Structure 1
């Protein structure tokens, strides 16, 4: 069985957490999902409700135990949310740093799950969000983007971070928003930063329907084409052994690339 520790980055609202929860639900093996987004919504559809964050648990109990912070979700997925401060107060990335230290302290990784997935917000420059890579909790990175300008802009910035940390980029996941020429745009973007598109997720009403029920597509609509796409994506990720050091574009190069599709 292949053991993987992966970090999935992307702009806020791009569907990163939806992707993480669904590939975790689709994986046929032991999985540990760690939400590193201050919205703390990664694991909601796996557990069926919002779970207390590590920062919440520390506020209530100075030294929380493993059972206080780790919850079991669909398909026996272990789930954790790092959490963050109240809006406008403190550094959101600090929650990631505190969470990683506590997870180590309580032995959260001692059972050696087959797959560990970190869901990391990618359009925040705070150093706390580099923790999964900087501290070598994650071995490889995947970036979720659409063909929209701001999503690709964030993806390019994430590539800069991966490059500076000597990280391994496993590929780009295109989470479609029905932009004109979207797959072509994302495919060229991936090529320009020395990567590849590793999965294409079409826009589907099943995603929203499932999330209204606090569930994943994989659980609610297991026989759907959308569910099969998540199964195929996690199989591809687990089989992937082709990584690159990204070559992000500078500002002028990025603008020239993007506007070649809209001019």
Structure 2
């Protein structure tokens, strides 16, 4: 919706499954920063254009990727990818950046956009399903931990309705307990 209103958007997928940008790229899989870095030998050997694709309505899309299962740390990979993006000017000329992070993992790497001041205001997209609310609660706790030092705040919850029983009531209650608001249902 923001892209349709002329806003310049960057989506950074921070999920090892690398599925955050697939719909924006018309169902095409995207090569991840970590995969290309492993092929080339180092992240410094990459060019921004290789990992940042343009999708629907000009939305720029990047997937950080993750390590081989059982080897390495997904959070460390996110830190590597975000630092690469920053060093190569990916954040220039954008109005909004969306980080799609796992909320059910409490690893510090997943909190990097919050911890290092990469975000000023955070909106959590959730649903009335138990695991989605659990993830939203974890993300909110991470925001609270860094709110004073990083200047970030929770802007509210956006419900991506799954049409579960009492979903609006559950999200409204969760928002209240997190001292925020439901922005959209």
Give the TM-score normalised by the residue count of structure 2: 0.88
Higher RCO (CA < 8 A, seq sep 6+): 1
Structure 2's unaligned 5+ residue stretches are: none
CA contact (8 A) 1:118 1:138 kept: no
The equivalent residue for 1:160 is 141
| Gap change, CA 1:153 and 1:67, over 3 Å in 2 | closer
Cα deviation digits, residues 10-49 of structure 1 (max 9, x gap): xxxxxxxxxxxxx465452221111111111111111220
Decide which of 102, 125, 138 is 2:84's aligned counterpart: 102
1:149, distance to aligned residue in structure 2 (A): 2.5
The equivalent residue for 1:133 is 114
Structure 1's unaligned 5+ residue stretches are: 1-22, 201-263
1:92, distance to aligned residue in structure 2 (A): 1.0
Q: How is 1:1-263 mapped onto 2 (pairs within 5 angstroms)?
A: 23=1, 26-48=4-26, 49-61=28-40, 62=42, 63-110=45-92, 112-166=93-147, 167-200=152-185
The equivalent residue for 1:210 is none
Q: In 1, Cα distance between the equivalents of 2:144 and 2:175?
A: 14
SS of the residue 1:45 aligns to? coil
CA contact (8 A) 1:25 1:46 kept: no
Max radius of gyration: which structure?
A: 1
Cα deviation digits, residues 163-210 of structure 1 (max 9, x gap): 10113001011122222211012112111211110011xxxxxxxxxx
Aligned residues: 177
Give the TM-score normalised by the residue count of structure 1: 0.63
